[in-house]
Amino acid sequence: MRGFTSLEHSIDQRAHRFLDNAPASGIRSGFIAFVVFGLKQAWACIFGALLLAVILAARLWYPADAGMARNDFLTLAAVAIQILMVASRLETPRELRVIALFHLVGTAMELFKTDVGSWSYDAEGFLRIGAVPLFSGFMYAAVGSYMVRVYRLFDLRFTRYPRRWITAILAAAIYLNFFAHHYIPDGRWVLLAAVVIIYGRCVMHFRVFRRQFRMPLILAFLLVALFIWIAENIATWSGAWLYPSQLNGWHMVSSDKLASWFLLMIISVVLVAWVYKPFPPEKTGMTGTQATGASEPPKVPASTTEGKV
């Protein structure tokens, strides 16, 4: 069962001191659920939010004559954030392994994309591999951190989740297309259609305070891709990296990149699904049809699931 870390469990207990007496229905109840949803999303984004804040702060205040290159500072800051996440028990060792995999997958893509000129970084600093500063891998790790954290913070369940071996083939095809489209026709539109066919019937169920909600999984992919695109605009404005069209002056990243981030979400979901197996909603307490192709989750004592915000 996906549970809170010890620190999160402590925060959850403190939150219930204030929330247990809240009304069970009505406008106030809906408002509380909305606030809790926002706070849990912010908590799930904490790694990416801290990293983005450091990138923005470095753009605004990092001294031009500093003895350390800004890219090296960003790399050391990213390492410090990751250490803090583990030391403060905001991430579990199991989650750290998934995040490290995101880091490796992202860095491999960065090496190729910078080599073919898709985007570029400042040529400064020592903590780099070729033209890629090492902090770039942490930006992919931030997506991984969000995915694994949101999975357990909202106790995600899925109706009609596709077979994992099918999703693995789709993710591999998407990843290869990020490389291959430089040499052969771009297959992203075929892949987008495949995503709709494979995931189109899947519904995501999630818990917020006392209530449980559901959402088409495709819509969830779109919303996360949108927020990543917004963060990308902040990062490019901060000079973390630039696309060729931005070299002579910054402008917003093309909305076409939303399709790329949407496809990246599929890779992210597949990687996480191999660690946290997608289970159907429980027969009691959640709406929706039980998913096919997935076994029942193990039974867990009530004390580990009741009372979660």
Average pLDDT over residues 22-43: 81
| Residue 23 within any structural domain of the chain | no
Nearest to 1 by CA among 299, 309, 303, 272: 299
| Residue 177 within any structural domain of the chain | yes
Pairing of strands 203-208, 211-216: antiparallel
| Residue 225 within any structural domain of the chain | yes
Total domains present in the chain: 1
| Residue 299 within any structural domain of the chain | yes
Q: Distance between CA 141 and CA 144 in Å, rounded?
A: 5
Question: Would the pLDDT of 201 be above 70?
Answer: yes
Residues in the chain: 309
Average pLDDT over residues 46-69: 92
3-state secondary structure of 32: helix
pLDDT for residue 13: 74
pLDDT for residue 129: 94
Q: Which of 85-99, 119-133, 138-152 is the least confident region?
A: 85-99
Measured in whole angstroms, how far is the alpha carbon of residue 78 from the centre of its chain?
Answer: 16
- For the chain, give the mean pLDDT: 85
Tokens 């804040």 sit on residue: 53
Question: In this prediction, what percent of the chain has a pLDDT beyond 70?
Answer: 87
Q: Distance between CA 83 and CA 141 in Å, rounded?
A: 13
pLDDT for residue 62: 92
pTM: 0.82
Question: Would the pLDDT of 75 be above 50?
Answer: yes
Phi first, then psi: give them for residue 133, nearest 5 degrees: -65, 145
Nearest to 238 by CA among 34, 114, 94, 52: 52
Q: Which of 24-28, 101-105, 255-259 is the least confident region?
A: 24-28
Q: Which domain holds residue 79?
A: 6-18+28-304
Task: Please give the biggest Cα pair distance in the chain.
Answer: 62
